[in-house]
Amino acid sequence: MNYISTRGGIAPIGFKDAVMMGLATDGGLLLPTEIPRIDSSTLARWHDLPYRELALEIISLFADDIPSADLKRLIDRSYDRFTAPEITPLVTKDGVQILELFHGPTLAFKDVALQLLGNLFEYLLKERGEKMNIVGATSGDTGSAAIHGVRGKENISIFILHPHLKTSPVQALQMTTVTDDNVHNIAVKGTFDDCQNMVKGFFGDLEFKENYSLGAVNSINWARVLAQVVYYFYAAFRAAREPGGEVIFSVPTGNFGDIFAGYIAKKMGLPIRRLLLATNENNILTRFINDGDYSLAHVVSTASPSMDIQVASNFERYLYYLFDENPEAIRRAFVSFAENGRMNFSLEQRQRVAEEFLSRSVNQEETLKCIADFHAETGYLLDPHTAVGVTAALEFTSWELPLICLATAHPAKFDEAVTAATGIVPERPALLDGIENLPTRCQVMENDPAAIRAFIEENAI
Minimum distance of ligand PLP from residue 105's CB (angstroms)? 14
Specify the residue, 78 or 250, whose C-beta has the smaller distance to ligand PLP: 250
Would residue 153 show up in a list of annotated catalytic residues for this protein? no
Nearer to ligand PLP, 177 or 282 (CB): 282
The stretch among 12-20, 35-43, 87-95, 249-257 that binds ligand PLP (CB under 6 A) is 249-257
Q: Are 356 and 219 in contact (CB under 8 A)?
A: no
100, 111, 258, 415: residue in contact with ligand PLP (rule CB under 6 A): 258
Of 280, 288, 284, 211, give the one whose Cα is nearest residue 252: 280
The CA distance from 60 to 76, in Å, is 13
Using CB under 6 A as the binding rule, the residues of this chain from 402 to 461 that contact ligand PLP are 408-409
Span interacting with ligand PLP, options 112-120, 248-256, 364-372, 420-428, rule CB under 6 A: 248-256
Only one of the segments 15-23, 237-245, 256-264, 336-344 lies at the binding site for ligand PLP (rule: CB under 6 A); that segment is: 256-264
Residue 445 pairs in a beta bridge with 188
Stretch 203-222 residues interacting with ligand PLP (CB under 6 A): 219
Catalytic residue selected from 110, 166, 266, 413: 110
3-state secondary structure at position 158? strand
**With binding defined as CB under 6 A, does residue 257 bind ligand PLP?**
yes
Residues 287-306 contacting ligand PLP, CB under 6 A: 306
- Min separation Cβ 347 and ligand PLP, Å: 27
Question: Is 254 near ligand PLP (CB under 6 A)?
Answer: yes
Is there binding between residue 279 and ligand PLP (CB under 6 A)?
Answer: no
**Maximum Cα–Cα distance for the chain, whole Å?**
60
Residue 303-342 contact track with ligand PLP, rule CB under 6 A, x = bound? ---xx-----------------------------------
What letter would DSSP give residue 271? -
How many residues in total does the chain contain?
461
Residue 199 beta carbon to ligand PLP: minimum distance, rounded to whole angstroms = 17
Q: Whole-number minimum distance, CB 244 to ligand PLP, in Å? A: 27
CB 127 within 8 A of CB 19: no
Q: Which long-range contacts (CB under 8 A, 24 or more apart) does 285-292 make?
A: 285/253, 285/256, 285/312, 285/315, 285/359, 286/359, 286/360, 286/361, 287/361, 288/345, 288/353, 288/359, 289/353, 289/354, 289/357, 289/358, 289/359, 290/359, 292/344, 292/345, 292/350, 292/353
Nearest to residue 83, comparing CAs of 429, 377, 319, 424?
Answer: 429
CA distance 285 to 310: 8
CA distances from 364 to 303, 387, 415 (A): 7, 10, 15
To ligand PLP, the closest distance from the beta carbon of 30 in angstroms equals: 17
Smallest separation, CB 41 to ligand PLP (Å): 32
Q: Which residues are catalytic?
A: 110
Residues that bind ligand PLP (CB under 6 A): 108, 110, 141, 219, 252-258, 306-307, 385, 408-409
